[in-house]
Structure 1
């Protein structure tokens, strides 16, 4: 009888590397060797295994189920291109992905759920089709937190994704539809980001049975029924920064005791109400924009609604229609409705600082008793008795400023409205194309009356828009060049730019929110871009005074360089650059990048010729030449990847570079090409599958588990039982009376919902003695240090944390530890950070209060980069440094180093 092990049953050619034995550790025994002392004593050593890559198809496993039966936690299952039929049940934490690019693999099943996730698995870049009646294309069940990334989910006549029984998945950048129900969450939660829900016959999202999901930055288009519904008591559906287009019935509906919290949403081109509350539902809406809806904008027939800073424009029915229930409207506007602005037939309604103007019927049509506070009504087709104001050309709004209408029954040109406007006025423009060159020399707001892009402003002879005063521009398409003068603050929201560029002078401040930019942006002051898309162009930062903040933006097809930095300071967060000539070039100045993705650059991904760069969790794929090229300057790369480049992954010719836990994979040249004259430090980096060997390999790492905690006992238990690679997420809250946490392993401890949401009040310090990461946590100590980092192995990363004490030292670094503190705030009653025979990097940290914000005793090499000492309880006006070569810049900024063996105390002095 032959005995077959599980590994022996695996067909040949299924692994990218030879797998180790099934056991996570393997004992090697050599009789008579040094291991056993030559006397037959058996010794053993542990070897951590690398995750296996199991191939399905093309000579590998016959189907996905067979591969799953042989998979172990952390393995990767790759599917060869094609269609796979049959139910797939994932009950082990693996990654499931196509061997080639997205869209090459389709899973389908006509008998039950096509893909069922019962473990903390990752599924990416797949097309999943559900065909069975009453089943789902994807079902997530049980207390698990899988990730579904960049997938397409279709279930015509059935459910796309069903989440139940306490599951908390992360679903990101997926397209869901066509389907009967797009996403159904029952007694579960989860985060659903940047998804598109399209062609759903009934609900795109339905939350029920006490579910608590959160849908963010997503689009809802062509839904046949409701876009989002919450039912049942205990259900809370959170909707943030979403766009809703079309739909014959109510887009968002709360009923049967369900609760919806919705913020920063836009509704347009729909057939039914945008928001509906009935049957004991609860809906809280904040900063909502509704335009061009086929019926009423808001319908309240029961339950409870609260609406704050909302704007309802161009509805075919009343902007707001109440037939029952309770509702409060605060700082809301009803404009240009084909019926009344606010129509109250029945129910308990309260209006505070609300405005109704330019509606076909009454501004306020009140058939039952309501409460009105500081409300106004003007310019409507039928009079009412609510706060009558002058109509044309200037109608006073609730703030005492004027709303000047351009178009029907208003000004014929925008320029004429500007000429008559006073500081603080609003110039509202009806849909259409206007050929004018505008100079704004008074602080006003310029906005489209309809949906964004309905107003197009062109001019061929000079600047289409020249701003010489602080101006806000909303929803306007600008064709031509735009100029912001020196020392002017300009805000553009949901605008489009094309033509000869956007430029700004010295001392200016320009903010672009959710704008589409088709031209180059050049600034000499401050620039903030949030949620913008930039096509065939980029951003140039040319002056030392420039401060640029880029967040959640996409640059696509830049002709030259997408982000070009000659001088100044640039902060980049969650930005994607695609198909540019060069992704990012730095010649001088400072760049801090987190979550930067650069894909398919024609030439270079990141090109450094000087300055200082800090890159965290950045990915460069498919560069035509080097993924990262450093000719000079100083740079830190942490958990970054350079994959599939035409030359080296990371090439360092000159300069000083730290590379920590970075990966170079499948590049044609070396993974890491490090020249002799460069000063390079590599820690836990890995080079694999590259064209030329470079001798850099990482020790196999635990793939890590995600552990979520919600109280002190769970937190302490998770820290104590964690193994290297684990991630511990702390739910929002104030955690009191913590008698110390000792973090002895290379784990990440972070706030689940970002900085400022978690506070740890400790009676003994948090002690870190490993290469661990603390992210986004506030630590408060009382007469004790809040945080201690010690031992030579303590290369910890402390990022975006706040540590506070009322006396003594706030943070202590000791025993040759060399941590990195990044974007942290240290608030001290006496001493801030104390280094004793230790070093580390301190980047963009703020030391607030205390007579001795930074104390360095016998440093092993500490580097301070753009750290600021701010006045707290002390009124010092300058910084004094004793006994060390620590340069002090302007505005109390620290930069430079404390060298080996030196001592220094940095104080605020009179």
Structure 2
């Protein structure tokens, strides 16, 4: 049976002068009644300075529509509920930041077309073992908190929270749909040791991560838009799990971050104009990232750092600075990725990290892959295509790269190893090359099998300083200058290789190269370099006295006529 109470501040007959008196009347009726009763309290328009305690099955209704009734309280809780309470159309305003403005202490609470105003602190609190539903309501400045409780939020607006706009903690379960969160000083939604589903929501202008999952939380996000946040769009930390689907993040520091053991699944998302990275995975976090796009990330599109280990598949990265970077002892697996239009490296592996790349396409970047670090720095590439880059692969430091089925097209240099780095090439191709197909310098080492270089404006292979090159079963065609050039103190082997074309030289070497089964119609030049001792002197006094050694010199005396014979590089005398 429903009992109706009418509240009017004008003290009309049959009405109650304030809301508290009506609630007390209903409580008294419940105490003496043998039947279960419910109450509807219709409240006339006006401002009510009182704190409310609602018990039992009660509806509080603004008789003249949403916003017509304002309940204010300077100190203490504005509304505390026990039982099954529904509030429709009221404005609840508290001023005490030390107390919950609205608290569900027991049972369930529904706020429908309600506005909750607080200067800070907790605006609405679902205390342990309660159920709170928020519908079509507005929450200003204060935090909406679910503690070990169950919450449902639909079509609500949270504005300028002094802390987190919404928090689910200590095992709470929350569903947030169709809502907008704006201007929170810390997080838009924080899920800590709790579970939350966030769908069809807009989040903007938060001071830290718009969505934060920490302390083994589970956060599920779908179809959301996140814009203009100072921190991360979405962040998973401290072994949190969950998923993110069909969500767009624009103008965040990091589009999505995972740290300290987190392991999310991210699918079909777009991260645009991030001020640092599109996706960052660090401090032993993992995660799988599928069918995502990163556009114009100012620093790195996808970054694995400090022990991160992401798996990235079917993703696209365009614009910005660096495409994918694996650094600071991290790992990463990347497959079916497309990277284009970067002024820096498409792929980067540094500082003891390991990157594995399969079925990757790189277009119009300054560098394709660059590696640098100690011997634990490794990059494995399989079926990777580089086009219109300066250098397809650059290995430095003591790093090691292994390439299988890698192609470089319209590049300055195909494959480069310098310092003490090593490159292992299997079934690789470089075509339309301006400088060289494979270049070795410093103490770099390159081992190649079935390497093809076609259409080089310079060299097919080039080795300088103390570099080492070992190439087998390979082919170099139409290299304008030389098929293989060995200079300085470099060394190596060419085994069962072919140099084809109508111009240039097949091989120019320094006598430190083993040629086994070389097939070519072009010239092979043995250009052994001998250095003249700079301290040697020649003194002519009615004859010759030589102090020190003189090599490749012509000396003459007591002659009116001198004939000089000089051998060309091919050994012919002129």
Q: TM-score, normalised by structure 1?
A: 0.36
Map of 1:141 onto structure 2: 105
Q: Please name the residue that 1:376 is paired with.
A: 338
Give structure 1 stretches of 5+ with no counterpart.
1-48, 393-910
Q: Are the aligned partners of 1:251 and 1:275 in contact in 2 as well (CA < 8 Å)?
A: yes
Q: 1:185 to 1:50 in 2, by over 3 A?
A: closer
- Per the alignment, residue 205 of structure 2 pairs with 246
**2:263 corresponds to:** 304
Q: Distance in 1 between matches of 2:21 and 2:134?
A: 26
Q: What residue in structure 2 maps to residue 76 of structure 1?
A: 40
* Post-superposition CA distance 1:790-821 (Å, at most 9, x none): xxxxxxxxxxxxxxxxxxxxxxxxxxxxxxxx
The DSSP-based 3-state class of the residue aligned with 2:229 is: coil
Looking at structure 1, the residues matched to 139 and 66 of structure 2 have their Cα atoms a distance apart, in angstroms, of 15
Q: Structure 1 residues 58, 173: CA separation in 2 closer, same or farther (over 3 Å shift)? A: same
Match of 1:388 among 361, 386, 389: 361
* Superposed counterparts of 1:215-234, under 5 Å: 215-232=176-193
**Aligned counterparts of 2:151 and 2:331: Cα–Cα separation in 1:** 42
Instruction: Find the residue that maps to 2:21 and give its secondary structure.
Output: helix
What is the DSSP-based 3-state SS (H/G/I as helix, E as strand, rest coil) of the residue aligned with 1:190? strand
Contact 2:206 2:230 in 1 (8 A): yes
Distance 1:166 1:337 in 2: 44
Matches within 5 A, 1:491-502: none
- Tell me by how many angstroms 1:224 deviates: 1.2
Shift of 1:391: 4.7
Q: 1:332 aligns with which of 289, 292, 310?
A: 292
Counterpart of 1:158 in structure 2 is 121
Q: Deviations over 1:99-123 (max 9, x none)?
A: 2122121112233211012121210
Q: Secondary structure at the match of 1:192?
A: strand
CA-CA distance at 1:323 after TM superposition = 2.0
Per the alignment, residue 50 of structure 2 pairs with 86
Answer whether contact 1:57 1:79 (CA < 8 A) is retained: no
CA distance in 2, matches of 1:279, 1:131: 35
Higher Rg of the two aligned structures? 2
For 1:323 and 1:350, locate their aligned partners in 2 and report how far apart those are by CA, in whole Å. Answer: 9
Render the CA deviation track for 1:712-733: whole Å, top value 9, x for unaligned: xxxxxxxxxxxxxxxxxxxxxx
Tell me which of 163, 171, 182 is aligned to 2:134: 171
Instruction: Tell me if the contact between 2:163 and 2:185 (Cα under 8 Å) persists in the aligned partners.
Output: yes
CA deviation profile, 1:596-621 (whole Å, cap 9, x unmatched): xxxxxxxxxxxxxxxxxxxxxxxxxx
Tell me which of 63, 73, 82 is aligned to 1:118: 82
1:384 Cα offset (Å)? 2.7
Task: Identify if the C-alpha distance between structure 1 residues 50 and 222 changes in structure 2 by more than 3 Å, giving closer, same or farther.
Answer: closer
Q: Distance in 2 between matches of 1:156 and 1:391?
A: 53
Highest RCO, 1 vs 2 (Cα 8 Å, sep ≥ 6)? 2
2-structure distance, mates of 1:213, 1:197: 15
Aligned partner of 1:277 among 236, 246, 255: 236
Shift, 1:50, TM fit? 5.7
Aligned equivalents of 1:365, 1:95: Cα separation in 2: 57
How far apart are 1:154 and its partner, in Å?
A: 0.7
Asked whether the 8 Å contact 1:357–1:380 carries over to 2, the reply is no
Q: Scaled by the length of structure 2, what TM-score is found? A: 0.57
Q: Does structure 1 conserve the Cα–Cα contact (< 8 Å) formed by 2:116 and 2:140?
A: yes
| Distance (Å, rounded) in 1 between the aligned partners of 2:147 and 2:286 | 27
1:259 to 218, 221, 244: 218
Distance in 2 (alpha carbons) for counterparts of 1:246 and 1:309 = 23
How far apart, CA to CA, are the structure 2 residues paired with 1:79 and 1:277?
A: 45
2:301 corresponds to 1:341? yes
SS of alignment partner, residue 169 of structure 1: strand
Other-structure match for 1:64: 19
- Please say if residues 128 and 148 of structure 2, whose CA atoms lie closer than 8 Å, have aligned partners that are also in contact: yes
Give me the whole-angstrom Cα distance separating, in 2, the residues matched to 1:353 and 1:301. Answer: 20
Alpha-carbon distance in 1 for matches of 2:308, 2:127: 36
**1:218–1:50 CA distance, 2 compared to 1 (3 A):** closer
CA contact (8 A) 1:341 1:356 kept: no
Task: Give the corresponding residue for 2:93.
Answer: 129
Q: Distance in 1 between matches of 2:174 and 2:166?
A: 10
Structure 1 contact 342–356 (Cα < 8 Å) conserved? no
> Number of matched residues?
338
Measure, in 2, the Cα distance between the counterparts of 1:273 and 1:381: 24
Distance 2:238 2:56 in 1: 42
- What SS class does the counterpart of residue 68 from structure 1 fall into? helix
Aligned pairs for 1:697-846 within 5 A: none
Residues 170/157 of structure 1: CA separation in 2 closer, same or farther (3 Å cut): closer
Pairing 1:196–2:157 present = yes
Give the deviation of 1:366 after TM superposition.
1.5
- Aligned partners of 1:172 and 1:154: how far apart in 2? 16
Give the superposition deviation at 1:247: 1.4
Question: Does structure 1 retain, via aligned residues, the 8 Å contact 2:286–2:311?
Answer: no
Q: Which residue of 2 aligns with 1:52?
A: 4
CA contact (8 A) 1:282 1:305 kept: yes
Separation in structure 2 between the aligned mates of residue 81 and residue 285 of structure 1, nearest angstrom = 44
Secondary structure, aligned partner of 2:243: strand
Aligned pairs for 1:389-408 (under 5 A) are 389-391=362-364
Specify the SS of the correspondent of 2:24: helix
Residue 359 to residue 343, structure 1, CA distance change in 2 (3 Å): farther
> d(CA) in 1 for partners of 2:344 and 2:305?
17
**CA RMSD for the aligned pairs?**
1.8
Q: Secondary structure at the match of 1:319?
A: strand
For 1:291 and 1:133, how far apart are their aligned partners in 2? Answer: 33
Deviation per CA, 1:246-267: give whole Å up to 9, x if none.
Answer: 1121111111222211111111
1:199 CA displacement: 0.8
Aligned to 2:72: 108
Q: Counterparts of 1:358 and 1:352 in 2: how far apart (Å)?
A: 15
- Matching of residue 95 in structure 1 with residue 59 in structure 2: yes
| Aligned position for 1:363 | 323
More strand by share: 2
In 1, Cα distance between the equivalents of 2:58 and 2:99? 23
> Does the residue aligned with 1:223 lie in a helix, a strand or coil?
coil
Q: Structure 1 residue 354 and structure 2 residue 314: aligned?
A: yes
Q: Which secondary structure does the structure 1 equivalent of 2:339 belong to? A: strand
Q: Matched residues in 2 for 1:279 and 1:249: separation?
A: 17
Distance in 2 (CA, whole Å) between partners of 1:345 and 1:133 is 40
Query: Distance between the aligned counterparts of 1:347 and 1:307, measured in 2?
Result: 19
Deviation at residue 53 of structure 1 after TM alignment: 3.6
